[in-house]
Amino acid sequence: MTLSERYNGLVGVWEAALRGKWFNPANLFTALRVALAPVIILLLLADTRLISTVSNNVLAGIVFVIAALTDKADGYYARNYDAVTRLGQFLDPLADKLLMIPVLITLSYLELLPWWAVAVVVARELLISGIRFVGTKRNITFPASWSGKVKMFSQVVVVVVLIFFPGSAHNIWVQILVYFMVAITAYSGIEYLFRARREIFNPPSTGAKAS
């Protein structure tokens, strides 16, 4: 294949992407959320300040807040500009996991968060990812429930507090926040299990009467 043919091929792919509904700001916000996770981790683990007048924790906190806000931005754009796509519905919850899990593990490594709390979060996310995968194979989607939204919000709050105020890790109020985060995370996982059992593994028969 000549260089010209390769160039024309790349141009064709790019044009197809631009014409495709999946290539929109909502999905770009989702991708940005994933891309910012390594930046946050590097800032938390760095030994020297990147900016002499600002601590790395403050920088990491600012980047994390921006990453968390992209979750609201992609949802707002998708809903208000008719940009909801199957790709976006799949990538959005995945991006949340790829942001939160590495950051939580890093905070545990820095001894700011108990390892068992991170273990509960990781176990829940792996379980839900498996359920969503099976559901996707059967064309069944699982919109975020109220417990899933509260779970995400509680995780964001805990991470923001621990990044900006690492010295408060053993404060009683912060520990209460952590316990609440773990509890709602576990509850949302159990709720998804019941939904999966009802909608995937034990769906109602087509001839059954609606209750």
Q: Using CA atoms, how far apart are residues 88 and 92, in angstroms rounded to an integer?
A: 6
Full-model pTM: 0.78
DSSP 37-96: HHHHHHHHH-SS-SBTTB-HHHHHHHHHHHHHHHHHHHHHHHHHTT---HHHHHHHHHHH
Question: Which of these, 69, 72, 78, 73, lies nearest to 21 by C-alpha position?
Answer: 78
CB 148 within 8 A of CB 201: no
DSSP 152-208: HHHHHHHHHHHHH-GGGTT-HHHHHHHHHHHHHHHHHHHHHHHHHIIIIISPPPTTS
The residue with tokens 């509260």 is: 150
- Quote the tokens at residue 180: 């609440």
In CATH terms, the fold of domain 21-201 is Four Helix Bundle (Hemerythrin (Met), subunit A) (1.20.120)
Per-residue model confidence as pLDDT tens for the chain (211 residues):
454 444 344 334 334 344 445 566 777 878 888 899 999 999 999 988 888 788 999 999 999 999 998 877 766 656 665 656 665 566 777 888 899 999 999 999 999 999 999 999 999 988 888 877 777 677 766 666 788 889 999 999 999 999 999 999 999 999 999 999 999 999 998 988 887 777 776 655 544 433 3
- Quote the tokens at residue 202: 């034990």
pLDDT at 96: 86
